[in-house]
Amino acid sequence: MTAPVDLHIHSEKSSDGDLPSFIIIQLAKEYGLRAISIADHDTVDAYPDAILQGNEVGVEIIPNIEVTTLFDNREFHLLLPFVDWKSPALSELVDEVAARRVQEAQERVEKLRNLGFEITWEEISRAAGPHPPLGVTIAQYLLRKSEMSGDPSLKKYSKKRNKDFAPYLFYRDYFMEGKPAFVSRRNISIFKVLEAVPKTGAVPVLAHPGAYFQQVKKEDVIRLKEKGLGGIEVYTSYHDRSQTDLYNKIAEDLQLVPTAGSDFHGAIKPHIPFGFLNNGGYWIVEELKKRRP
pLDDT confidence of residue 76: 96
131 and 271 assigned to the same domain: no
Q: What sign for the dihedral angle of Cα 209, 249, 231, 286?
A: positive
Start-to-end Cα distance in the chain: 33
| CA–CA gap between residue 172 and residue 167 (Å, rounded) | 9
Q: Is residue 234 part of a domain?
A: yes
99 and 54 assigned to the same domain: no
21 and 162 assigned to the same domain: no
Peptide bond into 258 cis (omega under 30): no
Higher per-residue confidence, 132 vs 210? 210
Q: Is residue 275 part of a domain?
A: yes
Closest by CA position to 69, among listed 193, 163, 224: 193
Q: What's the total number of domains in the chain?
A: 2
| CA–CA gap between residue 288 and residue 176 (Å, rounded) | 33
Residue 144 structural domain: 95-174
64 and 117 assigned to the same domain: no
Q: Is residue 228 part of a domain?
A: yes
Say yes or no to pLDDT of 97 above 90. Answer: yes
pLDDT confidence of residue 1: 41
Point out the domain boundary residue: 174, 200, 217.
174
Q: What sign for the dihedral angle of Cα 22, 24, 27, 32?
A: negative
pLDDT digit string, tens, across residues 29-73: 999 999 999 999 999 999 999 999 999 999 999 999 999 999 998
Is the backbone of residue 263 left (phi > 0), alpha (psi -120 to 50) or beta? left
148 band by pLDDT with thresholds 50, 70 and 90: low
Q: Is residue 90 part of a domain?
A: no
Radius of gyration of the chain (CA): 18
| CA–CA gap between residue 97 and residue 87 (Å, rounded) | 15
Across all residues in the chain, what is the average pLDDT?
93
Point out the domain boundary residue: 149, 174, 199.
174
